[in-house]
Amino acid sequence: MRFSELKEEIKDLNKFAEGWRGIIYKGIWRGERVAVKVAKREEVVRALRKEARILERLKGIENFPQILLEGEDFFLYRFIEGRPYGELRLSFEEKKRVLGEVLRIAYLLDCMGIRRDEFGRIDKNVLVGKEGRVYVLDFERGSLGGKPTNLTQFMQVLLREGFVSLEEVRRLGKEYISQRRKVFEELLRRLK
């Protein structure tokens, strides 16, 4: 099924956001608020399908979009209500809690063999819901397998936010190759 066929089934369909490869619409499908990510051009369909495969592996884990339907040039998932991390005005304690959650998510993805390739920038694609739950979106540059890099990329955020020094990032990055759990726990302690 193509998005052009699915559109008839979605009520209150509105364009919500637009990226380089895709357009996101939101609406109501079968009584549920949903978002639909649609390939902008035929040449980006493969990247969109790859993202859908990654999200299928993350099904059942609440911190990620939950795919409900996948088509030839789109995937549909439950709409996530939240605000981008970059728009939030957080207290120091709230910031530590949110960054701690993102750290856990980065480590989980590394353990699952999923590379997101954008953990150095979390301003737009990390959402915080009203209840405080943290969501990670946008896996279009991601991949399955390969060297784990999510946590080491995220250390750049911790460096910018002042939770680690440049020397510590270098040391911990090297240690992460052979002692992932130890590095994760050390960083987590800094955010408590």
pLDDT digits (tens, 9 = 90+) for 118-134: 888 899 999 999 889 99
Q: What pLDDT sits at residue 44?
A: 85
CATH of the domain at 161: 1.10.510.10
Task: Order the strands of the 32-39 sheet from edge to edge.
Answer: 10-18, 22-29, 32-39, 74-78, 67-70
State the amino acid at position 146 in one-letter form: G
Is residue 154 domain-shared with residue 124, that is, in the same domain?
Answer: yes
Residue 91 lies in domain? 83-190
Q: Provide the CATH number for the domain around residue 67.
A: 3.30.200.20
Same-domain check for residues 149 and 184: yes
Q: Nearest 5°: phi and psi at 108?
A: -60, -45
Query: What's the whole-number average pLDDT of the chain?
Result: 94
- Are residues 36 and 101 in contact, defined by beta-carbon separation less than 8 angstroms? no
The span from the CA of 82 to the CA of 35, in Å, is: 13
* Most distant pair of Cα atoms in the chain: their distance: 55
Count other Cβ atoms within 10 Å, centred on residue 147.
9
Whether residue 45 sits in one domain with residue 129: no
The answer on 99 and 18 residing in a single domain is no
Note the pLDDT of residue 188: 96
Question: How much of the chain exceeds pLDDT 90, in percent?
Answer: 83
Q: What is the CA radius of gyration of the chain?
A: 18
Integer angstrom CA distances of residue 80 from 62, 66, 67, 85: 10, 9, 12, 14
Cβ distance 69 to 58 under 8 Å? no
Asked if 74 contacts 39 with a C-beta cutoff of 8 angstroms, the reply is: yes
- Does position 42 have pLDDT exceeding 90, yes or no? no
- Please give the model's pTM, rounded to 2 decimal places: 0.91
- Alpha helices in 2-91, H assignment, sequence order: 3-6, 45-57
